[in-house]
Chain A
């Protein structure tokens, strides 16, 4: 495979440009993430962090630049991405949405083993056993047969994490994981994600607007502001000495 500037990186984004009509949301964003990192994309709303995530997961096409996620290479284009590359991308990565989007007509367990059975063609029994292990890992073994509408927000989120992990991804994307959680549950989530990173050898990429959460969990923070990356580094360093004045105002707003 073609070696980029950052051959060891698991995710490489170079000059990513994304426009919605006349509005440019990402103005040539570049960064590279190493395997095993926990990365937080932070910034004010409208800064482009969620859009960057959607471009990396192949849910959005983009107008300029390059995105590499594992072995999958995404090119700019007006419509859909190359099928082969997308397939590769899906095998490399999983995603947990802000609203989780569990399948409401399936139980927690069915939500988890649906994709391994239907997409990978795993035997039902194998997939079921694996799904039970995953649900136990996220602390939901007692809720296997619950339907999503009967589950709390935190439970749905953990189920969605198990669902994503069932496909054995190298990278897990998460969109605003704290937005629907009670403050006391955030600590549980931090613990769970750190544990998963180690046991599953995951790279975690998450979007959050909460700098404090990013500081507790991430070993690297990217601040996106009006479509540009204005900070890229260790969260403690950024908090202590932000290089860009706009970061200061963003952090100041945070409190």
Chain B
């Protein structure tokens, strides 16, 4: 297996040759450094995501179009020190580092935590904020939780690829990864989690403002730093100096306290030494794609197969019920079945999964006071959500299959004294199922791939495992190919099966 570092090396060579070609075509001249470029253009372009919201960088609610936030003020202050202007570039948070590498902006600054995996791909300056990874628990219960060690074997929520996530993975807790900052705390409230570990800024705004939750412990310190492109060492050094100036002058902490995120931890920013930066960046774990990841991938593939197979089974049964009610049911039932099919085919699966997991299930549990199996909520919601959605598609396939059966079959069954139900069960449905089978098989292939959507409700299946691993080993190539191969291994036998079924059906039709 090619190690991740090798890939990057190849990437760098490619970049360099491309750059060389560009320089040559421009008619020569020495390559411009990052700092020179910023000075020449007079603009420091910095990347961030407005969706991160308050207090990082966000649209001023009182003056739409104007950006505010502590990082906006900090970027302005740094630019001022460099003698240039700061300019914000909007970029999806999860792809800030790749966009930085591509050159969409000079620096990335948006609550980027210094993690081993990031420290390997970008140049980090000294920190501009020292955060605490905070463990939040419910007020009732959770009295016995004082540290991560008390959570062994229990479910703890966090954001994927954050420092908290890396901390949790090193312990024996069951890590539940979320995509948004609101959902882990609402799942903690509803009892699906025992604790949530996230940055203090997030904890204060989304967790500790809930009356039912409380802070259990500060687990670890972490750092927000400005990220520069490798090769732009002079720009990194200049920003380092700028932050030092702002820290010693007291300006940095004034900005932080204006946004109410200043605390005793931040005193360290003023006394920060170069050795501290060294220490901060030395927490390297050189992860690369290994046999340990292969096992995790196989586990992910198993979850994918398990969820898809169970969902398909339910969808087949429920779809049949829908098709029969639609074709043979008395008025309210056939109307309901039609409405169901249109509703579930006409709305995104993603939306259905969200509503089911974050909306319906907690509400039902609250109303019924039913607590059992709450740890499996995500898994159950994943299977149910996919099953409810695919049932609508299966219903249509069966309906077409049933309508393809000559009416004489029903008449023949009728004159033999069969009731409608018996005729459907023994004569019509078995034949319709044969006609529907290739379509059902094709739908199962689609379902295998659609099952990747359940990662939004914290189920770690194959695709989610791939994205987590890609960030961890800093390469999308190997995990991506491994993931694709596993999907192929699952779906190719199915498409062969579908083809054979279609062929045998065609043969039967001829004779």
Contacts and interface: CB of A to CB of B under 8 A. Distances in A.
Interface string B409-433: 1011111111000100011001100
Nearest to B427: A103
A59 B414 contact: yes
A118 B412 contact: no
Given A97-B411, A104-B431, A149-B511, A115 B406 contact: no
Contact of B511 (A90, A95, A150): A150
A95 B417 contact: no
B17 interface: no
B511 A59 contact: no
B411 A105 contact: no
B434 A94 contact: no
B271 interface: no
Given A101-B408, A105-B430, A114-B426, A119 B418 contact: yes
Contact of A118 (B408, B411, B422, B511): B422
Contact of A163 (B411, B416, B418): B416
B417 A167 contact: yes
A164 B414 CA distance: 12
Interface residues of A, number: 26
B41 interface: no
Given A99-B408, A103-B409, A90 B416 contact: yes
Contacts of A150: 511
Given A94-B415, A118-B418, A118-B422, A101 B409 contact: yes
A133 B98 CA distance: 79
B417 A90 contact: yes
Interface string A97-140: 10101111100000000110011100000000000000000000
Q: How large is the interface on B (under 10, 10 to 19, 20 to 34, 35 or more residues)?
A: 10 to 19
A97 B412 contact: yes
Interface in B125-160: none
Nearest to A166: B416
Q: Which of B411, B412, B434 has the most CB of A within 10 A?
A: B412
Interface in B291-316: none
Contacts of B417: 87, 90-91, 115, 119-120, 167
B347 interface: no
Nearest to B417: A90
Nearest to B509: A149
A90 B415 contact: yes
A114 B430 CA distance: 14
Residue among A87, A90, A104 with max Cβ neighbours from chain B (10 Å): A104
Interface in B375-428: 406, 408-409, 411-418, 422, 426-427
A203 interface: no
Contacts of B426: 114, 118
B422 A97 contact: no
B25 interface: no
> Of B422, B426, B431, which is in contact with the most chain A CB atoms at under 10 Å from its CB?
B426
Nearest to B418: A119
| Best-buried of B417, B427, B434 by chain A (most CB within 10 Å) | B417
A58 B434 CA distance: 30
Nearest to A94: B415
Contacts of B418: 115, 118-119
Nearest to B414: A59
A157 interface: no
B508 interface: yes
B408 A97 contact: yes
Given A103-B409, A118-B422, A59 B415 contact: yes
Contacts of B511: 149-150
B508 A149 contact: yes
A64 B406 CA distance: 29
Contact of A101 (B411, B422, B430, B434): B411
Nearest to B416: A115
Nearest to B508: A149
A58 B422 CA distance: 18
A103 B412 contact: yes
Contacts of B434: 105
Interface string A185-199: 000000000000000
B415 A57 contact: yes
A104 B418 CA distance: 17
A103 B408 CA distance: 10
A80 to B, nearest CB: 10
B139 to A, nearest CB: 62
Contacts of B406: 101
A115 B422 CA distance: 10
Contacts of A163: 416
A87 B420 CA distance: 12
A96 B508 CA distance: 23
A119 B422 contact: yes
B102 to A, nearest CB: 59
Nearest to B412: A101
A101 B434 CA distance: 17
B508 A167 contact: no
Contacts of A149: 508, 511
9 contacts: A59-B414, A59-B415, A101-B409, A101-B411, A101-B412, A103-B412, A103-B427, A115-B416, A118-B422
Given A91-B417, A102-B412, A114-B416, 10 more contacts: A95-B415, A97-B411, A99-B408, A103-B413, A103-B431, A104-B508, A115-B416, A115-B417, A150-B511, A163-B416
Interface of A: 57-59, 87, 90-91, 93-95, 97, 99, 101-105, 114-115, 118-120, 149-150, 163-164, 167
